[in-house]
């Protein structure tokens, strides 16, 4: 599993995430992905 640091532009805080978390977040923001609709039920 890959780990990544991500800078939150709103808070300017560096956050530590693993790739699974980032993928899940990305899927939830993509209307072409089923997870987008599941997260809005």
Identify the H or E element spanning 37: helix 34-38
Task: Give the pLDDT score at 1.
Answer: 61
Can you tell me the distance from the alpha carbon of 19 to that of 9, in angstroms, rounded to the nearest whole number? 19
Identify the H or E element spanning 24: helix 19-28
Mean pLDDT by 10 residues, the chain (41 residues): 78 81 83 84 78
């Amino acid at each position: 599993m890959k780990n990544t640091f991500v800078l939150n532009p709103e808070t300017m805080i560096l956050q530590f995430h693993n790739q699974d978390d980032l993928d899940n977040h990305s899927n939830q923001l993509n209307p072409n992905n089923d997870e987008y609709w599941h997260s809005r039920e």
